[in-house]
Structure 1
Amino acid sequence: MRASEVFTPNKLPEVTFIDDHLKEATKTLRQALETGAAVVSLSGPSKSGKTVFIEKTLGKENLIQVTGAGADSPAKLWDRVFGIIGTPTRGSTTGGSGFTGTIGAKGATGVPLVVSGEASASGAWTKTEGTSTDYAPDYLQLLIKELGGTDFVVFIDDFHYIPAAVQQQVANEIKEAIRGGVRFICAAVPYHSDDVLRANSDLRGRIFKLDFDYWAVPNLKKIATLGFEALNATASDALSEAFAREAAGSPQLMQSLCLSACFELGLEERTTEPVTIQADLDLISRSCRRTMMTTDYSSTVEKLKEGPKTRGTIRNSYRMLDGTVKDVYPIILGAVAADPPELTIRYQNLQGRIASLCEGDPPSGSSVTGACVHISDIANDAENRQVIEWDAANDVLDIRDPYLLFFLRWADWK
């Protein structure tokens, strides 16, 4: 068995799948679908394992999984659904004969195709001579005919990436499709968890909301324990703890860290002799830096360091303990990157981190809070999604993506 088969950051884990803490959520999801909840709204932060949870709970073979990213029209989203199950969504009529050229077979998932027409033995399109006119299908009716009353579930991941105006159209069609027995799961990050409901208030009462969260350190440590045992190795508790804290709640990042450690150790496959892995600081550092190479926020971080345009106003500078002189923007980033890794940093904690970096007086409170607003705006514009939020009402800086925090901690940007 190879290390890359044990620790799988980019695909569904088998050896290192941990679900002890998800048993209640698993039961709740199954009960919701069994009792007729036609739409499940699954909310959870980025990289928290939502997709893996759904795939493991319902089985990939029962899911028709599409992403909302890039779906700038309902047609583009539903085309993705029908592309997966093998249903043609573009046909033509020829000389008034009514020929549609569709397949009289089943898709790869076994879902029967319902659009009628001639088909060759190989299932390819068949054409007749003459002038043809392309037409688009009635997606709503096709959804109901293909999927209504089946065990299949349409899983729309990253629903929040669908533009707001398009969300409303999609939600309207979902409302009609569920009347025909089609089931949906719409996954989004927490601050967009009610997008599907807000897009169509008539869905109220038909939606079951299931909240997901980042993983706690003890659950992340189980990934290391199971994985290294499968390779005939034992990782010290301190090493598993260090990786779990760096992973900042993300099982995907924990998988990456453990796999990087295997590569650094030369433990690329199961060893014949038992191996004990100690919490060596150099190993932790090398593993983290290797993992950091799998993600790149360098252009975004450069923009954050520069801050907004000053329009001729010179920002105050502050001397750091390391002898450098910086303005408030790289100072805040340095504070976020400091130990211990935390995704949610309250104002008092942030000020304490900032003060620990400065040789003299740190930036004032108003300077820090004002910069946090700009940092949030710059990061979200650069990434075209919400990766940082400054909650002014509660004075909290919230890093929405564990990989961004990890990059700040381990990349050479300072």
Structure 2
Amino acid sequence: MKLKANEVFIPGAFPKYTYISRQSSEFDISYEFRLNQSLNTVGFLTSIVGPSKTGKTVLCEKVIGIDKMKDFSGSDFKESEDFWVTIAKRVGLPLESDQTEQRTIQGQGIAGTREGVASSITEKYHSNKDKVIQYFLENDWVLVLDDFHYASPNMQMEIAYQLKDAIRKYFKTVVISLPHRSDDAIRKNSDLSGRLNLINIEPWNTKELREIAVTGFGKLGLNINSTLANNMAQESLSSPQLMQSICLNLSLLLDIDNKDNPKLDSSMLKKAYEMTSLNLLSYREVARKLKNGPNPRGQKRKTYTINSGNQVDIYELLLKALSVDPPKVSLFIDEMKRRMDALVSDTDKPDRLKIKTTIGQVQSIMQTSEPMYQVFEYKDDEVYILEPLFLFYLRWGRLD
């Protein structure tokens, strides 16, 4: 039976037919072998670090198996709740409780006689750590802690403290985080020194991303032009998830499930990019918030005339500079200035200090907003795009 496009290209789940095995440039072994080796090293914690949407979770699904993974996000763990209670609740392990009674005298009657006493019972739930560990061992489960950077700094330290003892009891754990984010609680923890397997996932290159398109369209009976496949790979911004989305939307536009040898050209590719951006409308609000910048407090902002003839302030100019060709997931401050200089048509261009200050102000907005707004980070004079889907939306979505 002929496969359908949505069976071949799967952006949001495990891509059975278009899973691409990769290996790092440091070692001549695959990431799958490396993760399997780490999980079989008793008493070691596995830390996977790599850019957003580069297949870190999919790698775990491939090696561990979806049915054996118990996945959590860093944001699932709160300082108000015990680490093991959070895990026990998710996996359905019964909780134990302690009860305490509080008695309060409500008032005094005539001559000091007591009018009444109010009492309340407080229950505090807890889960025995050893029971959780044993439950995982009996079911051959692996704890996968994704987006570790979403946990508060205090919670990160608490998680590291809890895990250092658990891994010695055969409790398998994988911690997933982004580069350039604070995961020092794991990587620089002296208690975990010598007991940490670090797997650095490198960004996907054009050849690897192109293989998704070539393999997938081949299974659908279409030989894709290498030039178009390279263009798709570049627009995917090192993200296999984006590549899967673009390929799926292109397949739908071509009606590939019902037509033999449909015509594919660059104009159809542009439509696929625009169609893909429709699934990313949540980033419209992110872009708007960053474009608005901080509260001007009644002061009129300076504007710049760009090549289109429009007037933009420094915050909108910053987003435009991020979105122009060629698409990149990291930019040094000097390249940001060159991009802004090329966009501004008059001689009055923002200087390097102004650009750095603006980036710092935008980063402050992101850090005080919900996690979805934290789409890039500025560190050591370099802008790192943490969310490639946001950059893709800047390039192909509608911001107004």
Question: 2:72 maps to which residue?
Answer: 66
What are the Cα deviations for residues 127-172 of structure 1, in whole angstroms up to 9, with x where unaligned?
xxxxx99663433121232234874321111122122222222222
1:293 lines up with 2:278 in the alignment: yes
Q: State the SS of the aligned residue for 2:199.
A: strand
Structure 2 residue 35 is the aligned partner of structure 1 residue 29: yes
Say yes or no: does 1:363 pair with 2:350. yes
Shift of residue 305 of structure 1?
1.6
8 Å CA contact retained: 1:21, 1:219 = no
Contact map agreement 1:156 1:184 (CA 8 A) in 2: yes
Which has the higher mean CA deviation after the structures are superposed, 213-222 or 315-324?
315-324
User: Using a 3 Å threshold, how does the CA distance of structure 1 residues 384 and 222 change in structure 2: closer, same or farther?
Assistant: same
Q: 1:161 aligns with which of 138, 146, 150?
A: 150
Tell me the amino acid that sits aligned with residue 234 of structure 1: N
SS in 1 for 2:52: coil
1:290-320 deviation digits (Å, cap 9, x = unpaired): 1111112122211222222233443322211
Match among 147, 159, 170 for residue 159 of structure 2: 170
- Residues 1:306 and 1:150: Cα distance change in structure 2 (over 3 Å): closer
SS in 1 for 2:174: strand
Q: How does 1:34-49 map to 2 (within 5 A)?
A: 34-49=40-55
Question: 1:148-297 alignment to 2 at 5 Å?
Answer: 148=137, 151-192=140-181, 194-197=183-186, 201-267=190-256, 269=257, 273=260, 275=261, 277-280=263-266, 282-295=267-280, 296-297=282-283
Q: CA separation in 1, counterparts of 2:314 and 2:86?
A: 46
1:307 matches 2:309: no
Aligned partner of 2:40: which letter?
E
- Contact 1:43/1:193, CA 8 A, preserved across alignment: no
Q: In 1, Cα distance between the equivalents of 2:222 and 2:357? A: 49
Q: Which residue in the other structure is 1:344 paired with?
A: 330
The 1-side partners of 2:128 and 2:36 are apart by 27
Given that 1:63 and 1:153 are in contact with CA atoms closer than 8 Å, whether structure 2 keeps it comes out as yes
**TM-score in terms of structure 2 length:** 0.84
Instruction: Return 5+ residue gaps in structure 2 as ranges.
Output: 100-120
TM-score by length of 1: 0.81
The 1:360–1:139 alpha-carbon spacing in structure 2 relative to 1, beyond 3 Å, is same
**Corresponding residue SS for 1:304:** helix
Change in Cα spacing, 1:71 to 1:270, as seen in structure 2 (3 Å) is farther
Q: Structure 1 residues 348 and 315 mapped into 2: Cα distance closer, same or farther (>3 Å)?
A: same
Deviation for aligned residue 1:56: 0.5
Offset, 1:339 = 0.8
Encode CA deviations 1:340-362: one digit per residue, 9 max, x unaligned: 11111122222222122221122
Which range moved further: 254-263 or 73-82? Answer: 73-82
Structure 1 residues 285 and 227, CA gap change in structure 2 (3 angstroms)? same
Residue of 359, 368, 372 corresponding to 1:372: 359
**Runs (5+) with no aligned partner, structure 1:** 94-131
CA distance 1:270–1:141, shift in 2 (3 Å): farther
More displaced, 18-27 or 79-88?
79-88
Distance in 2 (alpha carbons) for counterparts of 1:293 and 1:139: 46
> Any idea what the Cα deviations from partners look like across 1:371-392, whole Å, max 9, x if unmatched?
111122223433436321222x
Residues 376 and 32 of structure 1: CA distance in aligned 2, closer, same or farther (over 3 Å):
same
Distance 1:316 1:76, change over 3 A: same
Instruction: Say how many residue pairs are matched.
Output: 370
Q: Which amino acid aligns with 2:264?
A: Q
The CA distance in 1 between the partners of 2:185 and 2:350, in whole Å, is: 42
Counterpart amino acid of 1:204?
S
Q: After TM superposition, give the deviation of residue 11 of structure 1 in Å.
A: 0.5
Tell me: CA distance 1:329–1:176, structure 2 relative to 1, closer, same or farther (3 Å): same
Query: 2:394 matched to 1:408?
Result: yes
1:150 and 1:203 map into 2 onto residues whose CA distance is 26
Shift of the alpha carbon at 1:246? Answer: 0.9
1:318-333 equivalences under 5 Å are 318-333=304-319
Give the partner amino acid of 2:58: V
